[in-house]
Amino acid sequence: MLGLPRSTEVNRRVAKEKIYINASLTPKTREIIKDQIETVVWRNKLADNTMGINAGESIKEIQVFEIQLRRHELDKRVLPAIAKAIPYKILFILVFGEKVQTWIEAAGAFYNTEWQPRDELSLKFEGLNLDTVYDNLARQISGGWLGTDGEIETAVARDKRRQKLERVIAVLEKKLLNEKQFNKQVELYGDLKRYKQELEELVL
């Protein structure tokens, strides 16, 4: 599916019970995993001895986990819980029927692709070491919101600000639409213009 070398293949099923033991899960999260996930399979291990790519300063291995879902969605609490249980960076591939979706964590934020046919999934595993391979994967999966260069932490912080600005703008637009008082309309319009200007500068 990802075209990775055979030397990286693990293809080992991960018992949900092992995730329960290694992660600090609430009873609710355990029930969600039990209800929404069919299987978790450790598909690949990317390391200097499996891919011929040097380990990074912070990332020594990247694991690829394939998660078969029982429904066309997964509660947002599940992947962070699994990530905490595994002491390595993880590329998640969610599978439902013949559709797949990839997820990855970058600087504390999770990014994902849209659902797509399984045979159309394409990711480039490029970089001089595993740090840059992982950063490049995050940039691809983010759909361009993390840019193509610079520190990944800076890119994530910028994207979090973008998302916050978009939420604020949506709220202000709704308020402006419903506001009857002219003076208040002027005030809201000024705020809206300022936030839109900041957003425009941010995404350039």
In this predicted model, what pLDDT tens digit does every residue of 148-182 receive, in sequence order?
888 999 999 999 999 999 999 999 999 999 999 99
- Distance CA(123)–CA(3), nearest Å, equals 9
Query: Does residue 12 sit in helix, strand or coil?
Result: strand
pLDDT grade, residue 17 (50/70/90)? confident
Of the three residues 128, 148, 168, the one that is the final residue of a domain is 148
Same domain, 100 and 22: yes
Find tokens 């019970």 and name the residue.
Answer: 17
If you average pLDDT over every residue of the chain, what do you get? 92
- Same domain assignment for residues 134 and 75: yes
* Beta-bridge partners for 12: 42
194 with 97, same domain: the answer is no
**Backbone phi and psi for residue 103, each to the nearest 5 degrees, phi listed first:** -135, 150
**Using CA atoms, how far apart are residues 176 and 56, in angstroms rounded to an integer?**
50
pTM: 0.89
Categorise residue 103: left if φ over 0, alpha if ψ from -120 to 50, beta otherwise.
Answer: beta
Domain boundaries, position 33: 6-148
Question: At 63, which helix (H) or strand (E)?
Answer: strand 62-69
Burial 136-168 (b: 16+ CB within 10 A, else e): bbbbbbbeebbeeeeebeebbebbeeeeebeeb
- In this prediction, residues 73-82 reach a mean pLDDT of 90
| Residues 176 and 196 occupy one common structural domain | yes
User: Residue 114 belongs to what H/E stretch?
Assistant: none
Q: What is the mean pLDDT of residues 74-89?
A: 89
pLDDT at 22 exceeding the cut of 80: no
- 70 vs 17, residue with greater confidence: 70
Domain co-membership, 99 together with 195: no
Q: How confident is the model at residue 36 (pLDDT cuts 50, 70, 90)?
A: very high
Residue 187 shares a structural domain with residue 87? no
Q: Cα separations (Å) of 161 from 76, 134, 155, 198?
A: 20, 22, 10, 10
pLDDT at position 1 over 80 = no
